[in-house]
Amino acid sequence: MTRDSERRKVTVVGAGTMGVGAAHAFAVAGEDVLLLDKDQQALDRALEQIEANVRMYGMLQPELAVDDPRRVLDRITVGTDLGAAAGSDWLIENVTENHAVKKEVLSYLDQVCAPGVPFGVNTSAIPIGVLGSYTSRPERVVGVHLMNPVPLKRLVEVIPGPLTSEATVAAMRARLHGVGKDTVVVNDSPGFVTNRIAMLMVNEAVHLVAEGVSDPAGIDRLMRGCLGHQMGPLETADLIGLDTVLFSLEVLATHRDEEKFVPSSLLREYVESGRLGRKSGHGFYSYAS
């Protein structure tokens, strides 16, 4: 699938769960999307997932329904060459929650993208100031914490780093509003607002499983039925990826130096054994089917 580079508007880097959701949401909103990942198989799976999700989400939320899912896919170009990002107007980075990986990717993108291109960095817990320091444009780097599943979640947490300009924040919010998202701006702090709270809840839920207080289904049912959550904490963890949850807690524990963020030993055990949630087929629940 190829497209004229002049029509590319937004580059989404990383074809994991969040990148797939972002590419889907932006394309449904009418943007031309360039989805990049080093793994061609991940890109192939992404297109299959987006086509399936366009149909499913259209049934869940009628305003997301489209006559022909192929029209959404026609707005998405995929590729394995990060250099293709050079033709984009704005960019959302979604690579794995790892300092070294993000540094490598952001440093390279900084070299190939035009100086005025704003970088939205999607991270669960890494401070935006740190990510901005990996580039020569920290004033144009802003946190864009998308919520999962991206096409169904209208609200986005926007986090300026200490050097992010007000113009960059305004431009990124305008871009997000243009694809149907609302935004809340919060200050730069590990985990920001949503994940600083959510990761604690997930970690405590894992402790409850480890202690035998309840099984995952019971915990999630109680949180949905009694507290009105759309998804329980362990369902959410499986969706996010248990490896991402573990890394987020480790970042929080390091930056805030608070024992409450130390990951549950059961969570670490699951990750080390390859039980990563939906993406591996098994986490707190089985997704073999």
Q: Collapsing DSSP states into helix, strand and coil, what is residue 22?
A: helix
Helices 40-60 and 17-28 sit at what angle, rounded to 10 degrees?
Answer: 60
Q: Of the residues 145, 177, 255, 282, which is catalytic?
A: 145
Q: Collapsing DSSP states into helix, strand and coil, what is residue 142?
A: strand
> Angle CA(103)–CA(107)–CA(108) in degrees, nearest 5?
120
Helices 194-210 and 265-272 sit at what angle, rounded to 10 degrees?
Answer: 90
The answer for residues whose C-beta is within 8 angstroms of residue 53's C-beta and 6 or more apart is 20, 24, 149, 151
DSSP H helical ranges for the chain: 17-28, 40-60, 69-73, 99-112, 128-132, 166-178, 194-210, 216-227, 233-240, 242-256, 265-272
CA distance 74 to 27: 9
Sign of torsion over alpha carbons 93, 261, 215, 219: negative
Cβ–Cβ < 8 Å for 202, 238? no
Give the strand pairing for 119-121 and 141-145.
parallel
In the residue annotation, 24 being an active-site residue is answered as: no
Residues with catalytic function: 145
